[in-house]
Amino acid sequence: MSLKAVTYCKQYRRANVHTVGCNFKCKGCPYNSNKESMHQELGIEQVTNALKSLNVKWVHFVGGEPTLCQETLVVSQHSAMKS
């Protein structure tokens, strides 16, 4: 499980932290069908720096299965301390 990307919606001040590497095989999951293009990983520091640089009100963890990604705990703790 790894962190893939951070996207941002300025209108809602919402950051989406995308994860990959889910071991589930859910039918219809767009992340499951696109595994070959998701080989680049981001480090925790890269993600937290991206979140620091944005005017974020909400952080959503999406893609794969975020609860299987240990890094999401660190990122969520960092986000909680910032608010």
Q: Token pair for residue 16?
A: 């989406």
Average pLDDT over residues 1-25: 88
Query: How does pLDDT run across 36-70, given as a tens digit for each residue?
Result: 555 678 999 999 999 999 999 999 998 877 888 88
Q: Are strands 2-9 and 58-62 parallel, antiparallel or unpaired?
A: unpaired
Determine if residue 13 is left, alpha or beta; phi over 0 gives left, psi from -120 to 50 gives alpha, anything else beta.
left
> Model confidence at 8, in pLDDT bands (50, 70, 90)?
very high
16 or 70: which leads in pLDDT: 16
pTM exceeds 0.85, yes or no:
no
Q: Cβ distance 58 to 10 under 8 Å?
A: no
Sheet containing strand 2-9, strands side by side: 2-9, 14-20, 58-62
Q: How many residues does the chain have?
A: 83
